[in-house]
């Protein structure tokens, strides 16, 4: 296929009132602060800011002195208008149960839960951990925290008890909100049981609120600690005033994988985050009141935080939310739902698109998808073949695709087409969002020539950028601001073509992306090393047809331990317990030695490059050729 194939915006979109003209890019870069100030005026503030940006590299404060409440912006301002009875969420549980929640429904529940949290002595700045399935109550709990100034820390429900415990230890929440069960591919996932296990040893958690997802099984409750959501809400007061919060007060912590074994608690704040997320939600997705929007992410990841919870609700959007697996009960579940709710905007991940391709186009062909007018992609580079399939089979060649590049740390989309404005090239995330200065540079921070690989950096601050790593500001400085002089280091490799379009080349560090889930190879290594049979490990990501990347583990056993297939299976089970199913390596090799440098470092980068057929000189500094040969020989021996 020709990569150079271009897709100009459809005419109907270009006519659209709030589609931006190309001049917006120049305008926004000329006076970035005015650009963001104008965007911030779209939100409701209790007190206006006195200064748009206070930039003290690498520390930024946005909308200084402004007072705002995120839950007010997502609810109160809508229920004061006709949107009161507008549908906020069309929800479907995996087994097929359905609920419709209006803005008023959400508003009432959020007020109640906010009051319950207050009664449990949650104060502004206190942390609340949420470990929940994809049910509307997760959104309610997040907004309830935001309403009273508590900081939520959502832990993806696919994480194990141990992973949950680690995140609880770091955030030290007073309260934990969970559900008794969740559903996945017809199976019941015992979330409350994981919570009990995570809280076994001493913990900061005083109370656990349990949402009853189903009463199909008995759920043990610890008296004095555990409370049912539905019992608490019976007599909880119906009104809770939103707390006027400082723009820079933290809104949430979200743990994300980095290059060490310990996940980072990325901190986002109220004002700038909401401005960035609401603006990109509106511009990138061209969202209007009559749209039915659907983002298939899990709220446990940043995409769900920004583009299921805060972005859509800030705009008063009607959206679809689904609890379970895309192939349950059959591979057309999502297409059936698009037809049922007449979805107009659909946002998903390349790994899902590749799975749909594998399942076959007979599944989408069974359904009427003509309501769709815009498609989005996020999470990893989308290969041109998947892009074209998505465009043809799902989008009926009518719908532009917005390939949106961003990170947990960036909070908001930073590199993306604007539908109606940008000419698309399949496989390219196209251009930085107005006001965002992205560049591809070498290790000294100098821009590299067009079509050459380098490090993707962001040169100026943006409102939704992370402010710190929770309780580790030093790590914030080191990880993001010390690698490349004067710029935010993304950890991604990229190329810019002759037209200035960005082509993402994946991570250049030890962070990998398995089926759209961000993982650190070091985390998986520490999980494996914690098994008594294991001496040393190298975990490497390599390209995978459907998952994007998969994990391969090279495990050196302790002396006296005999290699066996049973042991491999046991190691997989161990990783599942330590982190969760998403971190289990596809392949485990039991080896007698690992390739190391003279100073004793495992040569992971060379291993990865060889396994991925990467060009070694491209985004990495040139490796020692003899070391490359050594690793090549070693890999051959293993096969
Ligand atoms: C939103 C999210 C971030 C990493 C990032 C990239 C990769 C995300 C794209 C992409 C190519 C894209 N946050 N990534 N979007 N790569 N094109 N459109 O995924 O923190 O979980 O992951 O994901 O490597 O650094 S994340």
In a domain, 136, yes or no: no
Residue 583 placed within a domain: yes
CA 196, 217, 296, 150 torsion-angle sign: negative
Per-residue pLDDT for 623 more than 90? no
* C-alpha to C-alpha distance for 7 and 533, rounded to whole angstroms: 54
Residue 438 CB neighbours (<10 A):
22
**What is residue 188's DSSP assignment?**
E
Whether the CB-CB separation of 352 and 381 falls below 8 Å is answered with no
Judge whether 538 lies within some domain.
yes
Per-residue pLDDT at 526: 85
CA of 518 to the centre of ligand 1 (A): 8
Q: Average pLDDT, stretch 40-50?
A: 98
Q: Is the pLDDT of residue 148 over 80?
A: yes
Range of the domain at 536: 515-638
Asked which of 343-352, 361-370, 474-483, 626-635 is least confident by mean pLDDT, the reply is 626-635
Alpha-carbon distance of 332 to 325, in angstroms, equals: 11
Residue 249 in any domain: the answer is no
Neighbours of 635 (CB within 10 A): 16
Question: Residue with the nearest Cα to atom 22 of ligand 1?
Answer: 407
What distance in angstroms lies between residue 380's CA and the mean position of ligand 1's atoms?
5
Rounded Cα distance between 37 and 380, Å, is: 31
CATH number of the domain residue 591 falls in: 3.30.300.30
Strands 182-184 and 207-211: unpaired
Residue at token pair 């959501």: 229
* Dihedral pair phi/psi, residue 166, rounded to 5°: -60, -40
541 Cβ closer than 6 Å to some ligand 1 atom: no
Q: What confidence score (pLDDT) does residue 5 get? A: 78
pLDDT value, residue 621: 43
Verify whether ligand 1 is closer than 6 Å to residue 547 (CB atom): no
Pick the more confident residue, 11 or 494: 494
Helix (H) / strand (E) containing 88: strand 87-92
Distance CA 112, CA 133 (A): 20
In a domain, 573, yes or no: yes
CB-CB contact of 571 with 577 (8 Å): no
Query: What CA–CA distance (Å, rounded) separates 294 from 267?
Result: 26
Asked if pLDDT for residue 160 goes beyond 80, the answer is yes
Query: How buried is 288 (Cβ within 10 angstroms: 0-12 exposed, 13-18 middle, 19+ buried)?
Result: middle
- pLDDT tens, 416-444? 999 988 999 999 999 999 999 999 999 89
Neighbours of 27 (CB within 10 A): 16
pLDDT in tens, 563-621: 999 999 999 999 999 999 999 999 999 988 888 766 667 778 788 888 887 765 544 44
- 49: Cα separation from own chain's centroid: 29
Q: Evaluate: CB of 298 within 6 angstroms of ligand 1.
A: no
Residue 223 has pLDDT above 70, yes or no: yes
Best substitution site from 384, 404, 433, 513 to test ligand 1's pocket, by max atoms within 8 Å of Cβ?
513
Strands (E), 117-240: 127-131, 151-154, 175-179, 182-184, 187-189, 207-211, 226-228
Q: What confidence category does residue 375 fall into, taking pLDDT thresholds of 50, 70 and 90?
A: very high
- Which helix (H) or strand (E) segment is 493 a member of? strand 488-496
Atom nearest to 429 CA in ligand 1? 18
C-alpha of residue 378 to centroid of ligand 1, in Å: 7
Q: Residue 312 has what pLDDT?
A: 98
- With bands split at pLDDT 50, 70 and 90, how would you rate the model's confidence at 20? low
Nearest-CA residue for ligand 1 atom 18 is: 405
Measured CA to CA, the distance from residue 328 to residue 279 in angstroms comes to: 34
The CA-atom distances, in angstroms, between 211 and each of 153, 239, 580 are 17, 21, 22
Residue partners of 376: CB distance under 8 A and separation at least 6: 284, 285, 295, 345, 346, 347, 348, 401, 402, 403, 404
Pocket test for ligand 1, best of 295, 302, 380, 440 (most atoms within 8 A of CB): 380
Can you give the pTM of this predicted structure? 0.92
Tens digits of per-residue pLDDT, 521-575?
A: 888 988 998 899 998 898 998 889 888 899 999 998 888 899 999 999 999 999 9
Instruction: Give the position, in ligand 1's atom list, of the atom nearest the Cα of 504.
Output: 11
Phi, psi of 389 (to 5 degrees): -65, -45
CA 304 to centroid of ligand 1, rounded, Å: 13
Cα of 336 vs its chain's centroid, Å: 25
Q: How far apart are CA 320 and CA 374, in angstroms?
A: 15
In a domain, 565, yes or no: yes
Of 306-310, 432-436, 508-512, 593-597, the one with minimum mean pLDDT is 593-597
More confident call, 198 vs 4 = 198
* Model confidence pLDDT, tens digit, residues 63-122: 999 999 999 999 999 999 999 999 999 999 999 999 999 999 999 999 999 999 999 999
Work out which ligand 1 atom sits closest to the CA atom of 507: 24
Residue partners of 362: CB distance under 8 A and separation at least 6: none
CA 352 – ligand 1 centroid, Å: 14
Q: Are strands 250-256 and 401-404 parallel, antiparallel or unpaired?
A: unpaired
Tens of pLDDT, residues 193-215: 999 999 998 889 999 999 999 98
pLDDT at 592: 83
Res. 477: pLDDT tops 50: yes
Asked, for residue 625, whether it belongs to a domain, the answer is yes
Report yes or no on 197 lying in a domain: no
pLDDT at 449 over 50: yes
Q: Is residue 128 within 8 Å of residue 153, measured between CB atoms?
A: yes
pLDDT score for 615 = 63
The helix (run of H) or strand (run of E) holding residue 627 is helix 625-638
Q: How many domains does the chain fold into?
A: 1
Mean pLDDT computed over 259-272: 92
- Mean of pLDDT values over 282-308: 96
Q: What is the DSSP letter of 382?
A: P
């Amino acid at each position: 296929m020709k990569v150079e194939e271009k897709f100009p915006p459809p005419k109907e979109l270009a006519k659209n009132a709030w589609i931006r003209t190309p001049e917006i890019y120049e305008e926004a870069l000329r006076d970035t602060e005015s650009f963001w100030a104008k965007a911030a005026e779209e939100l409701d503030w209790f007190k206006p800011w006195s200064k748009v940006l206070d930039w003290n590299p690498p520390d930024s404060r946005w909308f200084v002195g402004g007072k705002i409440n995120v839950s007010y912006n997502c609810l109160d301002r809508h229920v004061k208008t006709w949107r009161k009875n507008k549908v906020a969420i069309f929800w479907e549980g995996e087994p097929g149960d359905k609920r419709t929640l209006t803005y008023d429904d959400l508003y009432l529940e959020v007020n109640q839960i906010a009051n319950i949290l207050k009664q449990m002595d949650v104060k502004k700045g206190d942390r609340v951990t949420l470990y929940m399935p994809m049910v509307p109550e997760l959104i309610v709990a997040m907004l309830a925290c935001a309403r009273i100034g508590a900081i939520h820390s959502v832990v993806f429900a696919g994480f194990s008890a141990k992973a949950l415990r680690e995140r609880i230890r770091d955030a030290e929440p007073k309260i934990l909100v969970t559900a008794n069960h969740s559903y996945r591919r017809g199976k019941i996932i015992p979330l409350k049981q994981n919570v009990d296990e995570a809280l076994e040893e001493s913990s900061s958690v005083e109370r656990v609120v349990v949402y009853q997802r189903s009463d199909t099984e008995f759920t043990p409750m610890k008296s004095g600690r555990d409370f049912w959501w539905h019992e608490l809400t019976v007599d909880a007061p119906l009104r809770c005033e939103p707390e006027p919060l400082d723009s820079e007060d933290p809104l949430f912590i979200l743990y994300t994988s980095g290059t060490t074994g310990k996940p980072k608690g990325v901190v986002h704040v109220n004002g700038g985050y909401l401005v960035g997320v609401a603006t990109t939600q509106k511009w990138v997705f061209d969202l209007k009141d009559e749209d039915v929007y659907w983002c298939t992410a899990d709220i446990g990841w940043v995409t769900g935080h920004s583009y299921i919870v805060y972005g859509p609700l800030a705009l008063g959007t009607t959206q679809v939310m689904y609890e379970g697996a895309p192939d349950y009960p059959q591979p057309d579940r999502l297409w059936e739902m698009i037809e049922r709710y007449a979805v107009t905007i659909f946002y998903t991940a390349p790994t899902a698109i590749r799975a749909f391709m594998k399942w076959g186009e007979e599944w989408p062909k069974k359904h009427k998808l003509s309501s769709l007018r815009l498609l989005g992609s996020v999470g990893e580079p989308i290969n041109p073949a998947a892009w074209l399939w998505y465009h043809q089979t799902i989008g009926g060649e009518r719908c532009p695709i917005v390939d949106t590049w961003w990170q947990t740390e960036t909070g908001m989309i930073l590199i993306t087409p604007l539908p109606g404005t940008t000419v698309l090239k399949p496989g390219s995330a196209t251009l930085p969002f107005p006001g965002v200065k992205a560049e591809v540079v070498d290790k000294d921070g100098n821009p590299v020539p067009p079509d050459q690989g380098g490090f993707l950096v962001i040169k100026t601050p943006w409102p939704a950028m992370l402010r710190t790593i929770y309780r580790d500001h030093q790590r914030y400085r080191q990880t993001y601001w010390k690698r490349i002089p004067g710029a935010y280091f993304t950890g991604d490799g990229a190329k810019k073509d002759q037209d200035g379009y960005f082509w993402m080349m994946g991570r250049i560090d030890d962070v990998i992306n398995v089926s759209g889930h961000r993982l650190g190879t070091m985390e998986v290594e520490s999980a494996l090393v914690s098994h008594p049979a294991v001496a040393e490990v190298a975990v490497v990501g390599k390209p995978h047809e459907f998952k994007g990347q998969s994990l391969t583990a090279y495990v050196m056993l302790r002396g006296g331990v005999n290699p066996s297939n049973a042991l491999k299976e046991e190691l997989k089970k161990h990783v599942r317990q330590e982190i969760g199913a998403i971190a289990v390596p596809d392949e485990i090799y039991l080896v007698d030695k690992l390739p190391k440098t003279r100073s004793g470092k495992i040569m992971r980068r060379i291993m990865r490059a060889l396994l991925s057929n990467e060009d070694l000189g491209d985004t990495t500094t040139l490796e020692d050729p003899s070391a490359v040969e050594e690793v090549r020989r070693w890999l051959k021996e293993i096969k």
